[in-house]
Amino acid sequence: MTTLKHITKLAENDNTILIGTAKTDFSKYGLSADEAAFVKKQIAAEEKIIPVNQYKRRLVIYIAETKKHAYQTLEAYRKTGNKLCGMVNGAKLESVTIVDLIGNQENTLALAEGMALGNYQFLNHRSDAKKAANSLNTINIYSKKVKATDIIKLQIVIDATNKARTLVNEPVNYLNAEQLAQEFQKMGKEAGFSVEVFNKAKITALKMGGLLAVNRGSIDPPTFTVMEWKPNRPKNKKPYVLVGKGVVYDTGGLSLKPTANSMDEMKCDMAGGAAVGCTLYALAKANVPVHVIGLVPATDNRPGMNAYTPGDILTMHNGMTVEMLNADAEGRLILADALSYAKKYEPELAIDLATLTGAAVAAVGKYGIVSMGTADKRTHDALKKSGEHVYERLVEFPFWDEYADLLKTEIADMKNIGGPIAGAITAGKFLEKFTSYPWLHFDIAGPAFINAPYDYRPKGGTGVGVRLLFDYLSNVTH
Ligand code: BES
Ligand code: MN
Ligand code: ZN
């Protein structure tokens, strides 16, 4: 864990990062005449990250650039933060002080954010964890524009993102549906939101036919976790409902995935659920005045002896029937029950997050979240804005009625696959049938899990969705 600290007095010998521009006079900040001359030369050579050799401390100067859009500048700061994190760990330093000589609150925080997010490691299962652990553990922040409360909030969001990453990185033999629900319970206790876990009997009583069907090939029972963060004086009358796909492992069921490649990363298939739980965790910890419900249906998807079978007709929580033609299209089945269950809350807005389709990966890759739904344009645009701000960008897909035609079948109300085209959209159209309130669907299959580091996102679970939802929900007015 990386601790962020607000400081108001500079200690001379702390390892330091000075943020300035090409015009900043750095000589006042503990540089000798030689060092100052060296820095000037480097600036003239258009170097942006300038390490200065000093005996008493490590010093790096960051010549910050402003991009065309403010959100691009923020991202440049995060990326630089990650680079500096690498330098700091390379030098085996434990703490570093960021000194903002420009006077920009958001940019300075973004630098710290990139450092702390880049400093994440998943070492739970390594015997050499102590040795392998990064040295960096404390980031001090010195800026006239940054308040102590800003840093507390940033720390909460970083911790919640890293928690989501860890949940995603834990494999199914350490984190099955019941264990995932237990993790949510722990988080609720710690942060102060309520958590109720429905067991298989309750799920059966609720007639969640989608979740039960997917679970049939599994030895472990399913869970359905209901989380609620209800602050004292919430801004909203009707709650925001977040729904997260909690497939703790996706083998494809009887429509088995080819083992060599497409199954290897399928422990990530609960990334939506992790994002939902960790968003509530952050909202509660930061005492954000918004009433939010989180729903996570969870199970693994396996081809066990009694596995649901292509051709099966399922009756869902809302009474609709589904002809199941591909056991690998399981996410929409468990989400459908949760979206139908969400109706009882009369949501202001419901958002589901799911690693739902390979089609979303093919379309935008790790660079974006595929989004679609029935919420009004203003709401969708506000989320897109948050998406740029935290750099978890939304790509809005068309959501025309014609796509729903691809789900037609003669023997049930719909089938669970749409055919070879527009796979991300037909999955969304399937979900739409279970909603009766403003709703958005975020397909995070691309950005949820990466097999190589990508800037401040280390390999593995990225925690995508937490920063986005926290930013959006922190800014809603009703
Ligand atoms: N969990 C997968 C989608 C996925 C793919 C997530 C790649 C992360 C990375 C989902 O359950 C799935 O298997 N979708 C199928 C749907 C198809 C059978 C209609 C797909 O996209 O191939
Ligand atoms: Mn699947
Ligand atoms: Zn899946």
Quick one: pLDDT at residue 45? Answer: 98
Identified catalytic residue from 216, 302, 332, 384: 332
Q: What is the number of the ligand 1 atom nearest to the C-alpha of 417?
A: 19
| Whether pLDDT at 418 is above 90 | yes
pLDDT in tens, 258-281: 878 889 999 999 999 999 999 999
Q: Output the residue whose Cα is nearest ligand 1's atom 3.
A: 357
Quick one: pLDDT at residue 131? Answer: 98
Q: Is 163 a catalytic residue?
A: no
Quick one: average pLDDT of 233-254?
98
Quick one: pLDDT at residue 247? Answer: 99
Quick one: pLDDT at residue 259? Answer: 78
Expressed in angstroms and rounded, the spacing between residue 252 Cα and the centre of ligand 2 is 5
Instruction: Determine the residue of 168, 211, 356, 414 to mutate for testing ligand 1's pocket, defined as the one with the most ligand atoms within 8 A of the Cβ atom.
Output: 356
Expressed in angstroms and rounded, the spacing between residue 329 Cα and the centre of ligand 2 is 5
Quick one: average pLDDT of 142-149?
98
Topology classification of domain 157-475: Aminopeptidase (3.40.630)
| Eight-state DSSP code of residue 398 | P
Quick one: pLDDT at residue 260? Answer: 81
Quick one: pLDDT at residue 261? Answer: 86
Topology classification of domain 3-145: Leucine Aminopeptidase, subunit E; domain 1 (3.40.220)
Q: What is the number of the ligand 1 atom nearest to the C-alpha of 268?
A: 8
pLDDT in tens, 185-199: 999 999 999 999 999
Residues with CB under 6 A from ligand 1: 250, 269, 326, 328-331, 355-359, 361, 417, 423, 445
- DSSP element (H, E) containing 70: helix 70-90
| Whether pLDDT at 244 is above 90 | yes
Phi and psi, residue 396, nearest 5°: -75, 125
C-beta of residue 435 within 8 angstroms of C-beta of residue 254: no
Which residues does 167 contact at the CB level (< 8 Å), separation at least 6? 175, 180, 183, 270, 273, 274, 277, 278, 461
CA-based nearest residue to 241, from 258, 255, 228: 228
Quick one: average pLDDT of 407-433?
98
Q: Is 257 a catalytic residue?
A: yes
pLDDT in tens, 376-385: 999 999 999 9
C-beta of residue 217 within 8 angstroms of C-beta of residue 308: yes
pLDDT in tens, 40-87: 999 999 999 999 989 999 999 999 989 999 999 999 999 999 999 999
Quick one: pLDDT at residue 343? Answer: 98
Residue 32: other Cβ atoms inside 10 A: 11
pLDDT-derived band at 12, boundaries 50, 70, 90? confident
Q: Domain residue spans in the chain? A: 3-145, 157-475
Torsion of CA 205, 208, 213, 218, to 10 degrees: -70
Q: What is the number of the ligand 1 atom nearest to the C-alpha of 330?
A: 11
